[in-house]
């Protein structure tokens, strides 16, 4: 079969990562978590004491860190200048600053180029998850999915992943990040015109996976 390119976009807490990894594993495709790349560059900025509230400072440093993503859906990895940052990129500190860093056009240009080259070299095809994959990074993807869910369902899922977290506070933080991601000038979070929207509010993860696998198989 020719390489199939699947773009999965949507806000946080819709099940994007769990769905994308499972679909890729089931179909023997590569997997790319683009949010992890924006988190990795944010981790580097924070670690190197770049003022993330200063877009010019972020832009000037955007090309400095070397970011390497492993694309095995059963073992996705992320390294910055050779350091494994899979743990540190999930901290509250990084999560609260990633929207500011990812809104800087120089950051997006650089990360987008990296994403396109990874997708082009995936021989059997790839599932790429993010916010702007169907609209900007891979507008010619074979299949575009836009996952949604009610704010309540998303907050409950996220809160379940974070030990000791409070659903109301998680909901506020999540809505704030979505508003920033949807409102930015450069490639905001958006549904592509030709994307299939899947509302996951009332679905189990297994049902969402099955739905997406069926849609991919229809394209092959
Ligand atoms: O998906 P995840 O929550 O890990 O994404 C972290 C952040 O990275 C998002 O809130 C957004 O600011 C940024 N992002 C982006 N474009 C993408 C993927 C993620 O701007 N394609």
What is residue 220's predicted lDDT score, i.e. its pLDDT?
Answer: 85
Residues in the chain predicted with pLDDT less than 70, given as ranges, are: 1
- How much distance in Å is there from the Cα of 211 to the middle of ligand 1? 23
Does 187 belong to an annotated binding site?
A: no
Looking at the 3D structure of the chain, how many domains does it have?
A: 1
So what's the pLDDT on residue 1?
67
- For 30, the token pair is 């590569």
Count other Cβ atoms within 10 Å, centred on residue 75: 9
63 known member of a binding site: no
In the Cβ-directed half-sphere of 18, how many Cα atoms lie within 13 Å? 16
For ligand 1, mutation pick of 35, 97, 133, 134 (most atoms within 8 Å of CB):
35
Question: What is the Å distance from ligand 1's center to 38 Cα?
Answer: 6
Closest CA relative to residue 215, chosen from 122, 119, 148, 141: 141
Query: Which residues span the domain enclosing 163?
Result: 4-219
Q: Which H or E run includes 7?
A: strand 4-9
CATH code for the domain in which residue 175 is found = 3.40.50.300
Strand runs (DSSP E) across 81-195, as ranges?
83-84, 125-130, 143-148
Per-residue pLDDT, 164: 83
């Amino acid at each position: 079969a020719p390489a199939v390119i699947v773009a999965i976009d949507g806000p946080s807490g819709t099940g994007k990562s769990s769905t994308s990894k499972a679909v890729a594993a089931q179909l023997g495709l590569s997997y790319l978590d683009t949010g992890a790349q924006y988190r990795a560059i944010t981790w580097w900025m924070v670690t190197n004491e770049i003022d993330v509230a200063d877009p010019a400072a972020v832009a000037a440093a955007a090309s400095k860190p070397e970011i390497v993503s492993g694309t095995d859906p059963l073992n996705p990895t992320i390294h910055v200048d050779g350091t494994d940052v899979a743990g540190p990129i999930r901290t509250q500190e990084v999560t609260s600053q990633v929207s500011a860093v990812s809104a800087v056009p120089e950051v997006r240009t650089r990360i987008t180029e990296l994403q396109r080259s990874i997708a082009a070299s995936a021989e059997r095809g790839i599932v790429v998850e993010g916010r702007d994959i169907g609209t900007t990074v891979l507008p010619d993807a074979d299949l575009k999915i836009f996952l949604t869910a009610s704010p309540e369902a998303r907050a409950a899922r996220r809160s379940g992943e974070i030990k000791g977290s409070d659903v109301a506070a998680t909901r506020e933080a999540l809505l704030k990040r979505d508003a920033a991601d949807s409102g930015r000038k450069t490639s905001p979070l958006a549904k592509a015109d030709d994307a299939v929207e899947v509302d996951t509010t009332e679905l189990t993860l297994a049902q969402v996976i099955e739905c997406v696998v069926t849609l991919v198989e229809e394209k092959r």
